[in-house]
Amino acid sequence: LEFRRVLFRSISHKVTEYLEHNFFRIKPVRTRSAKGIYEMKVKINKKNYRIAFALKKNHVFIFYISSNLQKIVFDKEVSKKIK
């Protein structure tokens, strides 16, 4: 439980930081059904993750975290998740 809190705080901080300064690292998730879903890689505690999130009215909604770093495979995982 504590690990999840730390992970969530770290990811939230990184997403905010990237939105403000490094937007080039954020890419759209390629899905057929949903628009406005983005992904990015984050490194937390020396481990890499790829996250999917949506932006709505200046709020970030992180809804998927994966240790799978291949974008094509990650996009497919997200597509299955949002169906």
Segment among 35-39, 65-69, 72-76 with least mean pLDDT: 35-39
pLDDT mean over 48-63: 89
pLDDT band for position 19 (50/70/90)?
Answer: confident
One-letter amino acid of 23: F
Whether this prediction's pTM lies above 0.85 is answered by no
In sequence order, the 6+-apart residues with CB closer than 8 A to the CB of 64 are 51, 52, 53, 77, 78, 81
Above 80 in pLDDT, residue 4? no
